[in-house]
Amino acid sequence: MGTFLLALLVVVLLMAGMSIGVIFGRKPISGTC
| pLDDT at 21 (0 to 100) | 72
In whole angstroms, give the CA distance from residue 25 to residue 15: 15
In whole angstroms, give the CA distance from residue 5 to residue 13: 12
Q: What is the DSSP string of the chain?
A: -HHHHHHHHHHHHHHHHHHHHHHTTPPPPBSB-
* pLDDT tens per residue across span 1-33: 899 999 999 999 999 887 877 777 666 555 555
| pLDDT at 1 (0 to 100) | 81
| pLDDT at 17 (0 to 100) | 80
| pLDDT at 29 (0 to 100) | 58
